[in-house]
Structure 1
């Protein structure tokens, strides 16, 4: 049915990766090469993309946004860090009590593995994700300055405030071992909150969020946005009215993809194949 359309489109094929986190845990990932990629032709920009959940997983599925990035000249790295499903119970619950620790080590090990095996321009790397991936984006920019730009979608910054406004407080009680009025819960919620670690952030960041999101209320992104602007970090906030955690209208999805491409272009400036 789509033969004529597909005849004019060049797709990239993902390459499976296997690497080890600092504690020895084996992690699976994939690299989607950029259009025109060939080793030795000069460094390519790379975008690290992180899935939601955290108990989700990337797999053998078609991703329009990943193919769009590859078609625009970006290497696209995506991995299944601790908390991802499909690798056993220990792996699935590897972030219990503390998001942002084992999972952060895993995704950064993937970045190092990609740099070792592909011709990546380390000065033009971006990081992005939506929902849990947005949370992990906020965490990454508060723990490293290796990325030239970030895009945080439906992102959490403060687990204590999120507990009281999101539609799933029970998840926080199980993942962080208690509510914020109990000592153990408060300690875990705070130590995994990116806003607590925001001092010294330097990564230019775009925030995209639906104003009617009940799973991750928009005040979560507002907090992180303010933290960056207070420190004179380039930041932009694009808000979508009447939009929830999912199920956005097609044109709002198109607009979001467009502004994200503009952000990557502004901060990563990919070379075209004709420039190489």
Structure 2
């Protein structure tokens, strides 16, 4: 393994973890964030009008496990939202999002626009798909894989 050519990729909570990693560690030369979470506050207050769903449980007691509401521990939500540390990122980031994702579809735009505002190397690809890549159309899934490999080829 070449320790100077390490990439990182994550989907959903893994996308959140990828953003956390690249804000705290400078060892990654390329990153792919798919259906990632950049801001726990916006995700917490997001609401899906199509299925009347909110993310309270996911964040308070689920994967993120903040253990409190936003109003009970606002500072913890800020500390654990990678968005507030994007200025530290040196890693090129490919942001991927399904536009029919009912869990975190509203996160990709702010992630991408924040990275661009900070003059970070970033690209975004949107697919007319849902959250789980296992349910994506074959053509879109192949395009996703091709873009990921191209991204890593370019920056690693």
Instruction: Compare the two structures and name the one with the higher helix fraction.
Output: 2
2:87 to 178, 182, 199: 199
Q: How does 1:106-125 map to 2 (within 5 A)?
A: 120-125=1-6
Equivalent pairs, count? 145
1:250 is matched with which residue? 138
Q: Deviations over 1:29-87 (max 9, x none)?
A: xxxxxxxxxxxxxxxxxxxxxxxxxxxxxxxxxxxxxxxxxxxxxxxxxxxxxxxxxxx
Q: Deviations over 1:221-276 (max 9, x none)?
A: 222212221222110000012x11112111111110011111011111xxxxxxxx
- TM-score, normalisation: structure 1: 0.50
Unaligned runs of 5+ in 2: 48-52
1:149 to 24, 27, 30: 30
Q: SS at 2:88's partner residue?
A: coil
1:211 is matched with which residue? 99
2:152 is matched with which residue? 264
Give the greater-gyration-radius structure (CA): 1
Q: SS at 1:139's partner residue?
A: helix
Could you tell me whether the CA contact under 8 Å between 1:177 and 1:188 is conserved in 2?
A: no
- TM-score, normalisation: structure 2: 0.87
Q: SS at 2:24's partner residue?
A: coil
